[in-house]
Amino acid sequence: MDAWQIEPSGPLKGDVHVAGSKNAVTKHMVAALLADTPSKITNAPDVGDVGITANILRAIGLEVIIESDTITVVPTPQPNAHVPLEFSGLNRIPILLLGPLLHRAHEAFVPLVGGDQIGRRPVDFHVSALRQMGAEVEVQPDGITARIAGRLQGTRVVLPYPSVGATETVLLSSVLAEGRTVIHNAATEPEVVELALFLQRMGAQIALHPDRRFVIEGVASLSGANAHLQGDRLEAFSYLVAGLMTGGRVRVGGCNQDRLVTAINTLQCMGAHFDIDDTWISASADQLTPAAIHTDTHPGFMTDWQPPLIVLMTQAAGMSVLHETVYEDRLGYVEALKEMGGEIELFDTCLGGPACRFHDSSAVHSAVVRGKSKLQGADVTIPDVRAGFSSVIAAAAAEGSSTLQGIHHLERGYNQPFSTLESLGLRLSRG
């Protein structure tokens, strides 16, 4: 059943121990294809994207074993170079397979990418980098075909924007390439660095420089490795906000403070009080105050944190501003919040921060939120993972029951959200 019924039940309180990062686990699974021996990933989250990625890898000939929070990937020296079309539009993993398949099979076909509809995430950066490395790449209506004679060649890649996906593509493609690859203006999000560290454990030679520059010296082969995933900072932030939104206090474990430093500071600026030690992070607030925030690449305020933040802003006494600078279409979920009583206005200008790359476009990428709003229960259709959890937070603080349709989006990206929210005191049922 793809819907939840939510009955507000007062402040959410309790402990949540988050699992490994959803944005890291699938990339580690892809990296395992590059090795000659099996790899093991522990602290893996129970999310839909893991199952999708496992089925993709199985379809091209790998063995993937999932036991509780442990994933074992057994590579094959001769994988099927064609990712079936049935995986079109499910997530963004297929495009990351181009480089590894070129190394293993000297050719590849991957279907069109999918994932949350939060703005353009073009494949241009990926395709351009692979072409620079010597691959022949053709973008077709149903997917991307690539081939190579011999090995990919190291090169200098300058990314027009520090794209997480493009940085990961070049990392995965360059570790077995011939010669040196340098990525300029690379993404340095914790999940990207985590992938680089995993590749390093496999035998890759990777250096990270302070100026957003990765330097990779290609090697002849890689071996399987073991990795214990770091906690999901997106999930940790979401549950901290859920506690604040409902006047409760949620204590989050499993995610180190250094992965949340910008998020913690933002919530502090809005009036939250924190209790932090080496194991747990919790937040509470007597009264929330407004803020002006703009999203940015790491170490800025993460774009995935903004949907929960906007919901929280509806309960801050005054006018808050959110300026989205990473994806130009990430505010689509706001209409549902407005139907629940949120007072939010959207603008196509840059508010709450310096002019961004969307400043001369018609993209609606800024929001002004007036609080404190009295939210009402509603029937909401969830458009993507992060907006889905935001709808849950809003429903938990609203007056009256809510029905959330499209709950598969939420379960694709959050580790066992139904049982976790139940443990915090939220009354919900499937139906």
Catalytic positions, written as ranges: 116
- Tell me how far apart the alpha carbons of residues 310 and 276 are, in angstroms, rounded to a whole number: 24
Alpha carbons 94 and 361: distance in angstroms, whole number: 30
> Which structure tokens are listed for 9?
């039940």
Helix (H, G, I), strand (E, B) or coil at 405: strand
CB count within 10 Å of CB 36 equals 12
Select from 112, 66, 67 the least CA-distant residue to 90. 112
Phi first, then psi: give them for residue 44, nearest 5 degrees: -75, 140
Q: Within 10 Å of residue 212's Cβ, how many Cβ atoms?
A: 17
Cα separation of 89 and 125, whole Å? 18
Among candidate residues 388, 90, 380, the one with its CA nearest the CA of residue 238:
388
* Closest to 263 in 3D by CA, of 293, 230, 218: 293
- C-alpha torsion sign, points 334, 338, 344, 349: positive
Strand order through the sheet with 292-294: 292-294, 318-323, 366-371, 343-347
DSSP assignment of 197-221 equals: HHHHHTT-EEEEETTTEEEEE--S-
Query: How far apart are the C-alpha atoms of 274 and 158, rounded to whole Å?
Result: 40
Q: Give dist(CA 154, CA 115) in Å, integer.
A: 30
CA distances from 253 to 231, 236, 261 (A): 8, 8, 15
DSSP conformation class of 172: H
SS3 content of the chain, % helix, strand, coil (to 5): 30, 25, 40
Question: Rounded to an integer, what distance in angstroms lies between the CA atom of residue 283 and that of residue 251?
Answer: 7
Is the omega angle on the peptide bond into residue 160 within 30 degrees of 0, that is, cis?
no
For 180, other C-beta atoms within 10 Å of its C-beta total 15
Tell me the two tokens of residue 366.
């800024």
What distance in Å separates the CA atoms of residue 22 and residue 27, rounded to the nearest whole number?
Answer: 9
